[in-house]
Amino acid sequence: MPVSDPAAAPGAPAEGAASHAPAFRPGLEGVPATQSAICDIDGRQGHLTYRGYDAAILAAQSTFLETAYLLIWGELPTALQLRDFEHEVQMHRRVSFRIRDMMKSFPAQGHPMDALQASAASLGLFYSRRALDNPEYIYGAVVRLLAKIPTMVAAFQLIRKGQDPIQPRDDLPYAANFLYMLTEREPDPLAARIFDACLIIHAEHSLNASTFSARVTASTLTDPYAVVASAVGTLAGPLHGGANEDVLAMLEAIGSEDQVAPWLDRAIAERQKIMGFGHREYKVKDPRAVILQRLAEQLFDRFGHDPLYDLARKVEEVAASRLGPKGIYPNVDFYSGLVYRKLGIPRDLFTPIFAIARTAGWLAHWKEQLGANRIFRPSQIYTGAVPREWTPLEAR
Ligand code: CMC
């Protein structure tokens, strides 16, 4: 291997080394950036497993907190472990009045994801001390984050309406308590169960953008509140968690079933992305969309139909002939908004709810990253100017 020329342009490959330069993959598509034992996706069969368990089975049989425990510690908890874990989470649901007061100074028209990111980061002010090699510290941070994130989402919802946040109810399970804090009414048990299943299927999805962001942040050995805050910021974008809000807006813009085909044809001709469709990993319908569709139907059977659902099914049917040949099918965001809408949840809370669920996955990756940490520091292919002379201001 020749010695590189120090006078060459920064980033220029040494003579004779070009053929060894790694290929650039925009978006790191197909590039393994970590090893992980948490979640596996079979994008051709449309199959998703958490720690080896089928996510569909977990959605039907487990609870969100049990699934979070499984994701983070790798095994299903015993009855005693689960009872303790649920109890600890329940005991830590309240947030400091200082955080509530801080949230009261947020602009009411601000997006709840921004409020959540700021609030999650603020937890580091209260519980910072990093003891990343202490299992009790890890357990405590997991409990706190799982417990307080829903409280903060619900608190901002009430605060922006001009009300004081209400305290969590210790007698209610995780999902029911969140819906209670949001609506100030104890939810119907079926609605709470369906909401819990939604949290389960959003809890983890391997190295998506926000989880990658969480792992990069974790790799610096910062505190877990910064890890979750950075992931919340990443989830907020419309290409990631934010798409679920846009799906309902799209359905409303389409308006009626006879408009579906012309609307889609125009959008595709203009190279617009159809929200709630497509996935880097899945080339078939996202298994989570299949589950969410079933959950939506259960809700409609019980609480009344939503005509937007018929429109959504028509969009799926028409899009199959236009986008299906490219492996573009409904993703998790396509039907989730319809479920949340039926539960009476405001549209801009859909992504914060995604964040509540995904906190479990982020924490699992935080813990896994700490177990075999090496700071992320990828390389780049420099495409800028070659070294050049400084031009004084008056000569420019
Ligand atoms: N509508 C129309 N065309 C699409 C779509 C779509 N939703 N998604 C991908 N394509 C086309 C794209 O135009 C491109 O076509 P061509 O090769 O002719 O240029 C090709 O498929 C590859 O697209 P890409 O954007 O390079 O694919 P990606 O793997 O980088 O992106 C994605 C994945 C999810 C960002 C993308 O499918 C998308 O933007 N979907 C819409 C937004 C959305 O629903 N996001 C939620 C994702 S699932 C939940 C989550 O992970 O947060």
> pLDDT (tens digit, 0 to 9) for every residue of the chain, 396 residues total?
333 333 344 444 444 444 567 789 999 998 999 999 999 999 999 999 999 999 999 999 999 999 999 999 999 999 999 999 999 999 999 999 999 999 999 999 999 999 999 999 999 999 877 799 999 999 999 999 999 999 999 999 999 999 999 999 999 999 999 999 999 999 999 999 999 999 999 999 999 999 999 999 999 999 999 999 999 999 999 888 888 889 999 999 999 999 999 999 999 999 999 999 999 999 999 999 999 999 999 999 999 999 999 999 999 999 999 999 999 999 999 999 999 999 999 999 999 999 999 999 999 999 999 999 999 999 999 999 999 999 999 999
Closest CA to 222 of 124, 301, 117: 124
Å from CA of 278 to ligand 1 middle: 5
- Residue 127: name the closest of 49, 227, 216 by CA: 227
Of all protein residues, whose CA lies closest to atom 9 belonging to ligand 1? 278
Sheet holding 47-50, edge to edge: 39-42, 47-50, 53-54
Select the CATH number that applies to the domain covering 243-342 from these four: 2.40.40.20, 3.30.360.10, 1.10.10.10, 1.10.230.10: 1.10.230.10
Pocket test for ligand 1, best of 212, 279, 315 (most atoms within 8 A of CB): 279
* Cβ contacts of 195 within 8 Å, gap of 6 or more: 175, 178, 179, 187, 343
State the Cα torsion 94-97-101-104 to the nearest 10°: 30
Task: For residue 78, give both structure tokens.
Answer: 């015993």
Cβ distance 102 to 119 under 8 Å?
yes
- Residues designated catalytic: 279, 333
Alpha carbons 284 and 328: distance in angstroms, whole number: 7
For CATH 1.10.580.10, list the domain ranges present in the chain. 39-237+355-371
Ligand 1 centroid from CA 241, angstroms: 13
- Note the residue count of the chain: 396
- The helix (run of H) or strand (run of E) holding residue 171 is none
Domain 39-237+355-371 is classified in which CATH homologous superfamily? Citrate Synthase, domain 1 (1.10.580.10)
CATH 1.10.230.10 in the chain is located at 243-342
Q: What is the position in ligand 1's atom list of the atom closest to the CA of 235?
A: 52
